């Protein structure tokens, strides 16, 4: 008898958010009284189909142990890598021995706390019986211009973005 796939989540959070030029990595910035990462993890663990959320953090991360969500029963952590891809791989390796072959792994950015559970539900439903993955996306609303140096050369057709 074939069992239903389980769903796991890896959250790469080892980055420093250099482009933000903030005093702390962006996942630890305050958003309405909590860190962005706490809010992201709260949202993810509220999705009942997730078995576990694995957070990949920097080996010298002093903020992670202080987070409320670092002690949640559905949240574990691993040491991330120098690059996002290595952090994701380390997260995948941490669940390799407990996940089944037909299970799915969601990868979600640490600094994206506003993901809607309804969108996760739609994604999970669309890939559950598939042999390929999927990703969340939304149509581009803003006008996009392509430039050549200081000059605008065209307006990009948003219908394919």
CATH number of the domain residue 61 falls in: 3.90.550.10
Write down the pLDDT at residue 127.
84
Pairing assessment for the beta strands 75-79 and 50-57 based on DSSP bridges: parallel
Within a domain: 15 = yes
Q: Which residue has the higher pLDDT, 137 or 87?
A: 87
pLDDT band at 18, cuts 50/70/90?
low
Separation of alpha carbons 18 and 16, rounded Å: 5
Range of the domain at 92: 7-133
Specify the pTM: 0.86
Domain count within the chain = 1
From 93, 105, 95, select the one nearest 5 (Cα to Cα).
Answer: 105
Neighbouring C-beta atoms of residue 85, cutoff 10 Å:
10
Is 115 inside any structural domain? Answer: yes
């Amino acid at each position: 008898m074939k069992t239903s796939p389980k769903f796991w989540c890896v959250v790469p959070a080892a980055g420093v958010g250099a482009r933000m030029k903030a005093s702390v990595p962006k996942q630890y910035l305050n958003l309405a009284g909590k860190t962005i990462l706490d809010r992201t993890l709260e949202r993810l663990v509220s999705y009942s189909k997730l078995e576990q959320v694995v957070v990949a953090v920097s080996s010298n991360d002093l903020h992670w142990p202080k987070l409320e969500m670092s002690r949640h029963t559905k949240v574990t952590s691993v040491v991330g890598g120098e690059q996002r891809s290595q952090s994701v791989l380390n997260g995948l390796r941490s669940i390799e021995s407990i996940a089944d072959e037909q299970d799915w792994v969601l990868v979600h950015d640490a600094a994206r706390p506003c993901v809607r559970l309804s969108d996760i539900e739609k994604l999970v439903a669309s890939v559950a019986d598939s042999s390929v993955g999927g990703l969340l996306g939304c149509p581009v609303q803003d006008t996009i211009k392509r430039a050549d140096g200081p000059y605008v050369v065209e307006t990009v057709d948003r219908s394919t973005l």
